[in-house]
A and B are shown apart, each in its own frame.
Chain A
Amino acid sequence: MTGWHVGDETLRRYVERTDLVAEGAAVEQHMLTCALCRARVNSAVTAADLAVIDLSAVWDRTRDAVEVPRSSVFERLLRSAGLPAHEARLVALASAFRAVWLVGVAAVLAFAALAAAIGHARGLWYFLAAAPLAPCLVVAFSYDRRMDPALEPEMVTPYPALRLVLLRTIAVLALALPAVLLLGLVVPGEAPFAWLLPAVGFVAVVLAASTWVSPLNAAVAVSAAWLMTVWLLATRSASPAAVLQARTQVAFLVLATASFGIFLVRRRHLRQLRPWR
């Protein structure tokens, strides 16, 4: 703008911070309007290695800060629940795929609940056959590589596998259970709640079995076994109430506890999780 520029000697003193107050103030006021002197100060700082901060490191941090996508509602919810930021991110990563699977699960359950609402005994069998399997299938699918591209980077991340698996299981269940519960309200009687313990038991079995085989195979095997049992019970004209009995419920509780115990004992084998196919 004007012909006046900061003198070389003054500039040097300013950069070295040996200037006088009035001098420094003059330099600073001038720099606000003079691109040339700003550039001279910048290059003097770099040349003399007097940069007060590591400019390239701060640039990296700044770029990272602006490039990070805004976290999802689910992730922020997890964070406000007290989960550290990186864990919330890890758990929330799969949410997109989970949504797809929830739709599928909800469809199955809607069918079962509808059937239960129409024809009593028969419909209730459908519901009892389908509902307890939903959570364990969702958990199994959420660990399948084909369903969740986030898994690959996740599994190579040095991170306690046990904690990761548990966190994600809880996250999946937290999403799946309300949907199932809601649909269960359509079904008359105690049945909406009777399936809860079997469902928890099956999830535990899948987790325990995943220390040997892939969770998906485990879930398929558990599902087949359960469907077979329900079919056998139904064809021998037993009442659906048999499943609801306290004794049966206790058996499922034992199953859940035992499976979870096995899972904890064998947690080291979780690293076999990696080459799931």
Chain B
Amino acid sequence: MEGPPGDEMLLAAVAERDMGAFRTLYERHAGWLALRLARRCNDRDLVADAVQDTFVAVWQKPRGFRGDGDIAAWLWGIAIRRLVSRLRQRTDVAAVFASTGTTPAAEDQVLLSVEYGDIGEALARLSPEMRAVIQAVVLDGLSAREAAQLLHMPVSSVKTRLYRAKAHLRATLAEGLS
């Protein structure tokens, strides 16, 4: 249909030990993966290691992709877990679940609430700790245990914070509706 080969074709070529396809796959995905990982961990070396681990894992087991969903989602699943396991070895580095701390200008705020509605505002009203848990579990799709390792906190804290965060969101949204 179109010129450049799709990710699935690249992955099939990687399974045939095609270094060129591997490179293309890397160039297509390493950038956004690194950026997204860096939003979860401030340590650049760890992010670099996690990206490397991810692609080494892809090279070793390209058939790990079962063909369900997008390859990007599969890659992200590998990448975030590699980051978690790298973080586990390094207790001195804390994951940061950052809202980067900057508050957007008033007109941006308005635009945002137009685009994302109440849910954006509800999320923004959560405490950073609760947001971190929501992000890890709901948005990144980690298990409670993985999230606990990523955030360096006990599993029980992840569970209670998740519970409270959900209650908070529900309350804020209900408030908005009424």
Contacts and interface: CB of A to CB of B under 8 A. Distances in A.
Interface in B30-44: 30-32, 34-39, 44
B120 interface: yes
B31 A55 contact: yes
Contacts of B102: 18
Nearest to B56: A65
Interface stretch (B70-78, B145-153, B154-162): B70-78
A42 B32 contact: yes
B21 interface: no
Nearest to A63: B19
Most buried by A among B23, B38, B99, B121: B99
Nearest to A54: B48
B169 to A, nearest CB: 11
Contacts of B34: 51-53, 55, 58
Nearest to B97: A21
A17 B36 contact: no
A35 B29 CA distance: 9
Interface string B130-152: 01000100010000000000000
B123 A17 contact: no
A23 interface: yes
Contact of A66 (B35, B38, B59): B59
A53 B124 contact: no
Interface stretch (A24-32, A75-83, A123-131, A223-231): A24-32
A26 B73 contact: no
Contact of B104 (A18, A26, A54): A18
Interface in A92-119: none
Contact of A41 (B19, B27, B32): B32
Interface string B61-102: 000000000101100100000000000000000000011101
Interface residues of B, number: 47
Interface size class for chain A?
35 or more
A42 B52 contact: no
Contacts, number: 123
Contacts of B38: 52-53
A53 B135 CA distance: 22
A33 B99 CA distance: 23
A66 to B, nearest CB: 4
A61 interface: yes
A38 interface: yes
Given A20-B112, A21-B99, A53 B47 contact: yes
A271 to B, nearest CB: 38
A39 interface: yes
Nearest to A17: B100
B104 A53 contact: no
Interface string B158-174: 00000000000000000
Contacts of A54: 48
B141 to A, nearest CB: 10
13 contacts: A13-B104, A20-B112, A21-B123, A24-B39, A26-B116, A31-B72, A33-B72, A46-B31, A51-B31, A53-B44, A59-B23, A59-B26, A66-B55
Interface of A: 7, 10, 13, 15, 17-26, 28-29, 31-33, 35, 38-39, 41-42, 45-46, 50-55, 57-59, 61-63, 65-66
Given A18-B100, A32-B72, 4 more contacts: A22-B121, A38-B29, A52-B35, A62-B55
- List 3 tightest A-B contacts by C-beta distance, closest first: A22-B120, A42-B31, A52-B38
